Every structure is written in C-alpha cells, then in structure tokens.
Amino acid sequence: MIEAVDRDRLYRLLVEQVNEYAIFALDARGTVITWNPGAERFKGYAPDEIIGRNFSVFYTPEDIAAGVPKRLLHDAAETGKASAEGWRVRKDGSRFWTRGVVTALRDETGRLQGFAKIAHDQTQEKESAEKILQLNETLEKRVAERTSQLQAANEELEAFSFSVSHDLRSPLRHIAGYVEILRAEASANLDETSQRHLKTIADAAQHMGDLIDALLAFSRMGRGEMQKKRVSLGAIVKQSISEVGEQTRARNIEWKIGPLPEVRADAFMLRQAMVNLLTNALKYTRNRNPAIIEVGAEENPDEVAVYVRDNGVGFDMQYVDKLFGVFQRLHRVSDFEGTGIGLANVRRVIHRHGGRTWAQGKLDKGATFYFSLPKTTKGTR
C-alpha cells in the first residue's frame, strides 16, 4: 500500500511535470495559491509573480466588468464544478483562447476550502475554426454574388429570348411572305434558275425559323422548374416513339426495346431528351434497310444508365467531345438536316437531373448514346 506521503509526492510530481495543461489551486476568494509549469508556460507568469493574486487577472476587462470570474466561482461552489471557455489575457497582454474546469474543494465537514482549476490552451484550434468560419462566410458571399450574377444573366437571357421570338421572327415572316408573292405573281416570268434561287431563299428562311425555335426550346429547358417524381422509363420510351411517328413513315425500322426500370425524374423533360435521341437515331439510319434502333438500360447501386443504339452512319470517336455542344455537327447539313441543338438539349436535361451523357460510335458502324440518372436526389431545380 502506498503511504500518504508517497501519494502526495506523486501528485506533486504529476502536477509539476504537466506542461500541456495549466493546473493550479485557488482559495475560496479566488486567490492563486499553487502554480504548475503548464500554467506558467501559456499564461506567462512565474509562480512568485502570480501566487497571492486573484485569478481574475487572466480575464479580459470586458469579462471582469461583466462579473465572469466571480460567477464562475459561484457556479462551481453551488454545483461542485463549472466549465468555461473564452479569451484570456497573458502577462504580456496578448490574448489566448482557453477551455477549462473549476472544481470546488471541500473538507470532510463540507466547508468550502477553495477551488482547483485545470485549463488548456486552445488558441490554435480557435483560430483555425475562425479561419474556417471566415472562409465559409467568404464562400457564402461569393455564392450569393454568383447567384445574383446568374439571376441577372437569366434575366438578360429572358430579354434575349423575347427579342429572338419577336424581333427576328418578323423579318423572317417578311422574307417568306415576299418569296410566296414572287412565286404567285411572277412565277410564269421566272426561268428555272430564278425559281431555284427563290426556293433556296425560302428554305433558308425556314431553316432560320427552325433554329430560332430550337434555341428558344434550349433556353426554356434550362430555366423551367423541375417536377420530379417516379416515372416509368418504358412509358417514356413508348410515348417518345409515338411522338416521332411521322419520321418513321414508309421506313423499315426494327425497334428493340429492352426492360426499362422506373426512375425519379421530370417526365416532360425526360421525354424531350428521349425524343431528341430517337430523332437523332432515325436521322442517321435513314439509308439503312432495315434501320435497327435499340433502347435499353443498365443499373448499378448509384445510377441507371439508359442507351439508344442504332446501326446508322456512326461517327469518328476523335470528335466525340463535340457531339453534345450547341450547333456542333459531325455531318454536313446537305446530307443530314437539323439544327445542331438536339443533343445539347439532351445534355442540359440530364445535367439538371444530376446525371451524365456520353457516346460511342464508329464510322459506318452505328452509334450508341448514353445518359445516366442518379438513384439519389442529385440534380438542380
């Protein structure tokens, strides 16, 4: 059994050799009566400089005026223990952040004899936390500024869309109208070359109108509010095939529709994306007999990957990054009509759902277009 004197010596050794924590005792009025090396290290006072002084010397003038030191001792005396953290003052006047515990010390009769104080310097942790807080505030400010800029850009886009819809359509209508007038009134007096020129003008005006419509649809697809719910991919594909029915007339098309699961998505937007993919497949299989178009899906724990595969003209994989860009085309308009916006619309729709788009193909060997839909709640409104 360890003698009492040995216990006292071991205790003193423990307290005196602890450098990471300030450990000291106070009398019942808060006067410092013991002082360990840890307290000296981060408070800056040697034992003969602090013993006999009230511990309130460690507190800021604001805390002293608010009665914080007295309240801490009162709470410890009332409950046996009181915790506190805050800025304290070193001997040289510099401040440090500390967290500590004051424990009331009573004799065998219950009479208060004083207090034991254990504290730890957490200035680095506090400064790091404040830096993180400042960074978060800065980031939030930047996000707010960016959001404001995006809102302004959207408003400008709305104005641009209005201008495109009204200001550009009017001259197009004039061009188309005067072409029809010339055809009606002067057709008999025009030679074959002039007739061909008129047709070129009319076709160009029609193509410009189609481009305007496609741009407006592309703009709306990026701004409309999403209404996500559980939808059947099979039903979406069936509706989309029906919608492109006009493009399938007098053609030999072999549809291969595999099992398709339910997904969480905006049904309208997803149908628009599928229509664009099917239209793309129908366009580039025009010279195939039969044209084979396959729709299927593959699942993993994180997402559902949907594909549309065809046996059409395909594409060179070195240009795959251009496929989903606005007005990016890998084939001549004279060979395959279109606006060059359909696949860009697919990417925008799928991006808003939090998914991905990609493609694989080979010249004259067909192409496969993929998009994924996450099984979680990613995506934008």
Question: Under a CB-based contact definition with an 8 Å cutoff, are residues 99 and 87 in contact?
Answer: no
**Which residue's entry shows tokens 């007096």?**
189
Question: Under a CB-based contact definition with an 8 Å cutoff, are residues 45 and 39 in contact?
Answer: yes
pLDDT > 70: what percent of the chain?
81
The span from the CA of 80 to the CA of 69, in Å, is: 16
Architecture in CATH of 226-374: 2-Layer Sandwich (3.30)
**Residues 40-61, mean pLDDT to the nearest whole number:** 93
**Per-residue confidence (pLDDT) for residue 161, from 0 to 100:** 65
What digits encode the pLDDT tens for the residues 355-375? 999 999 998 899 999 999 998
Residue partners of 174: CB distance under 8 A and separation at least 6:
none
What is 4-121's CATH superfamily? PAS domain (3.30.450.20)
Q: Is 15 exposed, middle or buried (0-12, 13-18, 19+ CB in 10 A)?
A: buried
Q: Is 304 helix (H, G, I), strand (E, B) or coil?
A: strand
The reply to whether 4-121 and 226-374 are identical in fold is no
What digits encode the pLDDT tens for the residues 254-268? 999 999 999 999 888
The span from the CA of 25 to the CA of 50, in Å, is: 12
* Highest-scoring range by mean pLDDT, 103-117, 169-183, 224-238: 103-117
Look at 16-20, 282-286, 329-333, 362-366 and tell me which has the smallest mean pLDDT. 329-333
Q: Is 114 helix (H, G, I), strand (E, B) or coil?
A: strand
Q: Which two tokens stand for residue 195?
A: 């007739």
Q: Average pLDDT, whole number, for the chain?
A: 83
**Per-residue confidence (pLDDT) for residue 2, from 0 to 100:** 47
Give domain limits for the chain.
Answer: 4-121, 147-222, 226-374
Q: List for the chain the helix, strand, coil content (%; round to 5).
A: 50, 25, 25
pLDDT > 90: what percent of the chain?
41
Q: Rounded to two decimals, what is the model's pTM?
A: 0.49
| Residue burial 75-87, b: 16+ Cβ < 10 Å; e: rest | bbeeeeebebeee
**Which residue's entry shows tokens 């061909």?**
196
Q: Does residue 51 carry a pLDDT above 80?
A: yes
What digits encode the pLDDT tens for the residues 206-255? 767 766 766 666 666 655 677 888 999 999 999 999 988 888 888 999 99
Q: Is the dihedral of CA 370, 375, 379, 381 positive or negative?
A: positive
Q: Does residue 381 carry a pLDDT above 50?
A: no
Contacts 24+ apart (CB under 8 A), 354-360: 354/378, 354/379, 354/380, 355/303, 355/379, 357/324, 358/320, 359/315, 359/320, 359/323, 359/324, 360/317, 360/320
- What are the residue ranges of helices labelled H in 23-109? 37-43, 47-50, 61-65, 68-79
**Residues 61-74, mean pLDDT to the nearest whole number:** 94
Question: Under a CB-based contact definition with an 8 Å cutoff, are residues 280 and 314 in contact?
Answer: no
